[in-house]
């Protein structure tokens, strides 16, 4: 994330119009999107600006590095965890720990999506949110954690 922020700051300062080109958009969001070269200009421009200017970025990242998710067993409601199949940030063998999650967690993969699935397939994200909150469809989602 530090590299992403540094790249966003450099892009904003040295090449602020880079997201206007297909290549510029792709390179700007290669870690966040499963199909970064297909993204439209405005969301990429906004994402680069927001990453470069986010207040509290350093403090938030430091806090996240010091702590990990704990006490998932105390969660009693259904849980759905979704990752994009093309996620280049939270890699399967490194950052996708299932052990702290409650037993009723469903693990779902959004096909073709990257780290920020809303960039790649916003409708799939909406569909997943709706399906995971409907008791009639939630049980059929993804594979159980355990």
Assessment of whether the complete model's pTM goes beyond 0.85: no
Which residues of the chain are under the pLDDT cut of 70? 143-146
pLDDT digits (tens, 9 = 90+) for 46-61: 999 999 999 999 999 9
Domains of the chain by residue range: 2-65, 72-144
Distance (Å, rounded) from C-alpha 101 to C-alpha 72? 5
What does the radius of gyration of the chain's CA atoms come to, in whole angstroms?
Answer: 17
Per-residue pLDDT tens over the stretch 11-31: 999 988 899 999 999 999 998
């Amino acid at each position: 994330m530090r590299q992403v922020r540094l790249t966003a700051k450099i892009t904003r300062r040295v090449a602020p119009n880079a997201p206007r080109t297909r290549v510029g958009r792709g390179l700007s969001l290669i870690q966040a999107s499963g199909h970064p070269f297909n993204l439209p200009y405005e969301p990429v421009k906004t994402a680069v600006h927001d990453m470069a200017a986010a207040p509290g970025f350093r403090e938030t990242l430091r806090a996240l590095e010091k702590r990990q998710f704990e006490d998932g067993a105390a969660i009693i409601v259904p849980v759905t965890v979704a990752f994009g199949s093309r996620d280049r940030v939270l890699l399967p063998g490194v950052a996708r720990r299932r052990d702290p999650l409650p037993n009723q967690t469903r693990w779902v993969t959004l096909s073709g999506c990257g780290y920020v699935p809303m960039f790649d397939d916003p409708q799939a994200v909406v569909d997943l949110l709706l399906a995971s909150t409907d008791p009639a469809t939630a049980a059929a989602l993804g594979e159980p954690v355990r």
